[in-house]
A and B are shown apart, each in its own frame.
Chain A
Amino acid sequence: MQLHDVWFVVIAVLWIGYFFLEGFDFGVGILTKLLARDRAERRVLINTIGPVWDGNEVWLLSAGGATFAAFPEWYATLFSGFYLPLLVILLCLIVRGVAFEYRAKRQEEHWQRNWEHAIFFTSLLTAFLWGVAFANIVRGVRIDADMEYVGNLTDLLNPYALLGGLVTLGLFTFHGAVFTALKTVGDIRTRARRLATRTGAGAAVLALGFLLWTQADRGDGASLVAVVVAAVALAAALGTNLAGREGWSFTFSGLAIVAAVAMLFLSLFPDVMPSTLNEEWSLTVTNAASTPYTLKIMTWCAAVATPVVLLYQGWTYWVFRKRIGTQHLAPSGGH
């Protein structure tokens, strides 16, 4: 295994981490309209991720930075090629972050209501668009001999990619519902479990359809294993949720996301961004990579820093492990 293969794996891990963690953040954001019945319940939802959402989002920044450093050509083609969808994602992430931090800082009804709308719509749209983006990466896009994207916006909105968008939307909503059941007490917890059953069934059907389509197009033995793991994990997540085993259900819904994203990266390898115009123009782990010297420096950094990050981020979840309900909300918020 050469260093550029290692970095392909590292980047896959960073995206997996991002979708596992911010996946439930997006889900919780979507649940603010799907599950919460009043402001107090919306606040409970927002506070389940309050202390951690920002740290979760850094997984995205790390994935972006690592792609820039390890595969500059991939970073350049992807980000300039998917310009408008990424613009929408960026605008959503800006508004969403501000919404979490500012919503409770004023007590006026319209202020809080507007930020709550913002949290819902930005979570929904971003959850959908990540699926569209990843489906297009795996499917391949029109890339010319100079590694430049030559397609247009409508090329990106093909049926396979739209299905990919529904899959991430469905999986994240399910994951968020399971997370909510694990992190709350009272009535909302029971309803979160019921909602998890409904969304989970739908998400499982969509996800399996999408993964099998991918498997038929580009799959190999390893990716098939990942499809099977994802399928089993989804079934187990649904089953344990029905049985009221919330910790296990969250483990399995997380595993389903891990397996699904891993499956996409497995079917991508050794390409990083296939060209649909000519196979020789595809971006691969070799022609898109940085020099071995850069990769070596990066490997040292990642090897030292990542365990430390995992330790303190894990510790944060442990500190805030207590379930919350409406009775736990601080009276006025914001102070």
Chain B
Amino acid sequence: MTDLALAPETLARWQFGITTVYHFLFVPLTISLATLTAVLQTAWVRTGKEKYLKATRFWGKLFLINIAMGVVTGIVQEFQFGMNWSAYSRFVGDIFGAPLAFEALIAFFMESTFIGLWIFGRDKLPKKLHLATIWLVALGTIASAYFILAANSWMQHPVGYRLNEETGRAEMTDFFGILFQNTALAQFFHTMTAAFLTGAAFMVGISAYHLLRKKHIAVMRSSLRLGLVTLVAAGLLTAVSGDRLGKIMYEQQPMKMASAEALWDTQAPAPFSVFAYGDVEKGHNKVAIEIPGLLSFLAHDNFHEAVPGINDTNAHLKEKFKDSTGLDDYRPNIPVAYWSFRWMIGFGMASLTLGAVGLYLTRRRFWLAERLRTGEDEVPRLALTRNRELNPRLGTWYWRLSVLTLGFPLIANAWGWIFTETGRQPWVVYGVLPTSAAVSPSVSQGEVLTSLIAFTSLYALLAVIEVKLLVKYVKAGPPELTEADLNPPTRIGGDPTGTDADAEDRPMAFSY
């Protein structure tokens, strides 16, 4: 009946993993596209240039297709703690519930209400007020991320609580300590920068697609520029924040980080692993290619200090927790930790590199000979040096690569979450509550299997629908603007025009 592969706990973990990774495909795109769309709309309001309004419409449409999926898959996230992890919910509700409630009350209301105003309010709100609504949506998405990351950080590094022996539950003692602990700040910084990396790579890839075909040039040229600058800035900050978060994790969860490096034995100085293939049972690597001393630097900012290895840490944790949990093995799935960490960094940094190359190749006039300079309506020439253009065939490949890699950060994000969540195992709350003690006792194997299959199939179907819709709107390019688009109302509710009867029957600027 409870064959391990189909044990309710295993199934519930798969369901949580699948639904969360899926949800998080949409989250970073939503966060970054909301802000980038708001930036473009601000540019339109400030300059009155049509290309910015067209760009706002175009990216706004793609943003809306995404946020719809993010919103609906988010409902599952809030409910499945209670559905599948009721023992966890009872144990941590006093602490974990509050940020979730704050998220709904402060962030979701803002996001969901103002998005309705933004979509339907074009002919109802004055220019600046309409602009304010998209900024509020963007603010809502970011606030929402903060609360949920603070909640997750508490699972990574529980602080500001005490264990009530009588009830067997964790109780909150310091709310602000939980909300603003260093893990939460570092995770938020890292997740936000990665989100902007994601949206920027998306924007660069799609702009490149149109520029390669010499279509919608003015709009895509501006979008490309905004995308590239964001990509490089966010990419660099993702690396910095990742380093910061990594150092915190070396202190708080040494096992996770040792697993990320397949560092079996404590070493000083510790090497950074480039490639490793090992035997988990025996606890050593068979093949290892390493850079000496680099891991010491990543963990401690110097090239000599010791970094604890998996075997020593496991023995230490066993000594500490064996009595309370009864568990013998405190190692996560090491190949998963090792490779997910590498895929995360690899895909993320590949995008950053491409962005840096692109930013250099498309640099502005000051660094270019006159004949290489291009106007607003021309595809930028990719310039290798001040006087020399990049070989056109290579240039075409640059645009193509940008299109092909637009999803790289999405892959990096997914591996990042897989790393941080599976790397924490066997704990659901690190050092406090093992995952095996967190699952719902009243939910049967058949029930979890049903929901796992139902969510996975529905999500797969919706993914096909969503991607097709995105492709359709990407290919269609920015819409043509109408008179009404260029002349938004000056009063709330729309301007009175013509006779009263005309105004009464005037069609909406947008309807479903």
Contacts and interface: CB of A to CB of B under 8 A. Distances in A.
Interface string A55-66: 101101110111
Contact of A94 (B72, B83, B175): B72
A159 B442 CA distance: 24
Nearest to B113: A55
A164 interface: no
Interface in B352-385: none
Contacts of A78: 82
A47 to B, nearest CB: 5
Contacts of A149: 442
A304 B19 CA distance: 33
Contact of B442 (A81, A90, A316, A330): A81
B318 to A, nearest CB: 29
Contacts of A65: 78, 97, 100-105
B30 interface: no
Most buried by B among A71, A79, A105: A79
Contact of A51 (B69, B82, B120, B479): B120
A68 B105 CA distance: 13
A328 to B, nearest CB: 5
Interface residues of B, number: 78
A236 B109 CA distance: 32
Interface string A294-335: 100110011001100100110010011110100111110111
Interface in B35-82: 64-65, 68-69, 71-73, 75-76, 78-79, 81-82
Contacts of A215: none
Contacts of B98: 69, 294, 297-298, 301
B440 interface: yes
Interface string A79-112: 1110110110011011101101111111000000
B117 interface: yes
A46 B512 CA distance: 7
Given A75-B82, A309-B109, A319-B121, A54 B71 contact: yes
Contacts, number: 258
6 contacts: A58-B112, A65-B103, A69-B101, A80-B84, A83-B443, A313-B109
A94 B75 contact: yes
Contact of B511 (A43, A87, A94, A302): A43
A70 B510 CA distance: 41
Interface residues of A, number: 81
B83 A86 contact: yes
Nearest to B103: A65
A147 B168 CA distance: 14
Contacts of B281: none
B217 to A, nearest CB: 21
B125 interface: yes
Nearest to B92: A72
B97 A70 contact: yes
B267 to A, nearest CB: 43
